[in-house]
Structure 1
């Protein structure tokens, strides 16, 4: 029988889990539950354990499980420190609790962006080197560094929070190019735009509409993504210079705009980086899509 792991992706909206084939990344027994109802129960970790129990009852051969969480965890990867989306579980020693309940099973905990980054190494479609930077563009901006196939933890265990780097306009990076901020930028630029554009001018531009307009060559849409790309590019320069890593993977929901932000990203990189970095620089779109969190969690078991 193929080696299989339990992958658990805890998010602010849903908790997803499934059995992952360690060779192929194929997911079976997929299960998703609304996070809110578990929060309201006042027994989040018990409800999580109940869902795990069902998975393990149906798959008794599975001995390891990985868990990705959206927030800060202890350096020993045993306990939760600050899970902003689910504050009820702050301070919980989740790994000891689960290993006590499921004797003979091992569980591994990681920040969700770190887990998703590691998942690209083990399950991604494109081969990546053993050192790379992973950046997620979505509601916020997350990130991770994988060095020698290991998550870079930093001093206290929670390194690589690129969304909180200082950026333009006296804001951190994710308050410039997170999803809400991207749409604010788009609607603001639309209000001042004098040329032709297919983008609506009633303040209701969507990310889908923005990408569709850019795909048609709409000059305003491309100008909006140019601004986002320039801001992101400056942030990437800092990460590359500090970590000396020149392979970058871009993931997350807003990575659909990848090809439209890349001209400006490349412009900033070429402006700031020396030939030492440029000769080996590779920026690619991450490949795991919606499965990144679950596959990333499972990859912690390797």
Structure 2
């Protein structure tokens, strides 16, 4: 069975593991806190040390995929702007690792793009070769997979749905990113006169919002209605520009999927023509917490 090494570089942790190419089973999982590698001043060297241990134990593995949270060059060799780990900006990471590990092939991609591709190869449901992937979390990320490949755009970093214009003079992720969503919820709670289980002291959490909505709490449903409407408007733009009608929603806030979908659908029905609506599919991504690591490993299929 062919296996790949998948590496998910995050602002909090770097996760890696050996991934079976046929079924996505992860073994030899390893996680290291990002902060200590940053403080060392030799982040890529420490990453290389961790890779060396994995390859020592699995010498048959010849391909490694790496997902990073930020901008990379179009040729997928160099880190441009990794906001969570600025110390590694400008590093030609693929040439460095290829020199250290001759005979081994490395693949680099933005983490949202990698997670999107992972859904094709390792997701629970069969997907078409073209789809849009949107992540709802601290920020709003996204990707487009076209002909089973990541759509890079002109400069290599296409598909940033969180930065498209939205309501209130803000971009989308400044409206419905995690912090902004909770700010909106707390503002709505302060003005709300009806009964609700949501606290009034400014401590509403995403977990609390989902739990309240699950019990048909009117205010929680209003919050998700507003969130879904803004997301729906953004999806309309992506669908019409890319001419893709399969949409996957993932990320930490995707637990709200069932509660935002009515207003998402309302916006899609309002703006899209029958040609798009007849083929439109919007569903949750399936890889959950393994999306980053499996996504990184999926780069090795390229």
- Relative to the length of structure 1, the TM-score reads 0.99
2:223 pairs with 1:224: yes
Tell me the CA shift for residue 176 of structure 1. Answer: 0.2
1:217-242 Cα shifts (integer Å, max 9, x gaps)? 00000000000000000000000000
2:153 is paired with a residue of what secondary structure? coil
Tell me the CA shift for residue 114 of structure 1. Answer: 0.2
Mapped partners of 1:199, 1:80: distance in 2: 42
- Relative to the length of structure 2, the TM-score reads 0.99
Aligned to 1:116: 115
2:128 is paired with a residue of what secondary structure? coil
1:300 is paired with a residue of what secondary structure? helix
2:134 pairs with 1:142: no
Tell me the CA shift for residue 297 of structure 1. Answer: 0.1
Mapped partners of 2:191, 2:125: distance in 1: 41
Aligned to 1:213: 212
Aligned to 2:269: 270
Count, aligned residues: 301
Mapped partners of 2:281, 2:183: distance in 1: 30
Tell me the CA shift for residue 269 of structure 1. Answer: 0.2
1:65-96 Cα shifts (integer Å, max 9, x gaps)? 00000000000000100001100000000001
Aligned to 2:185: 186
Aligned to 2:298: 299
- 1:117-132 counterparts in 2 under 5 A? 117-132=116-131
1:239-275 Cα shifts (integer Å, max 9, x gaps)? 0000000000000000000000000000000000000
Mapped partners of 2:168, 2:36: distance in 1: 38
Mapped partners of 1:216, 1:111: distance in 2: 37
1:301 is paired with a residue of what secondary structure? helix
Mapped partners of 1:254, 1:113: distance in 2: 15
In the alignment, structure 1 segments of 5+ residues that lack a partner are: none
1:144 is paired with a residue of what secondary structure? strand
Aligned to 1:246: 245
Aligned to 1:41: 40
Aligned to 1:174: 173
Aligned to 2:161: 162
Mapped partners of 2:28, 2:163: distance in 1: 36
Mapped partners of 1:129, 1:175: distance in 2: 31
Mapped partners of 1:143, 1:291: distance in 2: 17
- 1:88-127 counterparts in 2 under 5 A? 88-127=87-126
1:128-186 Cα shifts (integer Å, max 9, x gaps)? 10000000000000000000000000000000000000111111100000000000011
Segments of 4+ moved more than 6 angstroms: none
Mapped partners of 1:65, 1:123: distance in 2: 16
